[in-house]
Amino acid sequence: MMPAWYQRMNPRERLLSLIVAGTVFVLLNLWILSWIFGALGGAGRELAARKATLAEQALYIKERDTWMKRDEWLRQHQPVLKNPAEASALLDQLREVAGKYNILVENPAIGSGE
């Protein structure tokens, strides 16, 4: 049973309306699929980033004892700088030793004394 408005159309109008409805249907489906695949791609990128972060954190936890030992060694053996003059003298010594072994000091700055 066809609706009255559809029966009033001639065959060319019916064909045109079917083509327009089909085109709208296809375009709507393409838009929805594009949105879904975009969301899936974004979720995949976010998952990869989170997995990388998790792996990095697992490595930090695994190497925690090593870094704690290094921190303790630095606290015991690194001189405590009391003023900027001591920091400057230490930087000069560092440059001298680095020059002796042909090592480039990229960021030659030592923080101010505490």
SS3 14: helix
pLDDT at 6: 84
Q: What digits encode the pLDDT tens for the residues 55-110?
A: 999 999 999 999 999 999 999 988 788 888 888 888 899 899 999 999 988 887 76
Residue 79 Cα distances to 74, 109, 114, angstroms: 9, 16, 12
Q: What is the Cα–Cα distance from 96 to 43, expressed in whole angstroms?
A: 52
- Terminal-residue alpha carbon distance, the chain: 91
Residue 65 Cα distances to 44, 58, 59, 74, 87, angstroms: 33, 13, 11, 14, 29
| pTM, to two decimals | 0.49
Q: Is the pLDDT reported for residue 3 higher than 80?
A: yes
Q: What is the Cα–Cα distance from 50 to 60, expressed in whole angstroms?
A: 15
Give the number of other Cβ atoms within 10 Å of residue 2's Cβ. Answer: 9
Locate tokens 């101010």: which residue? 112
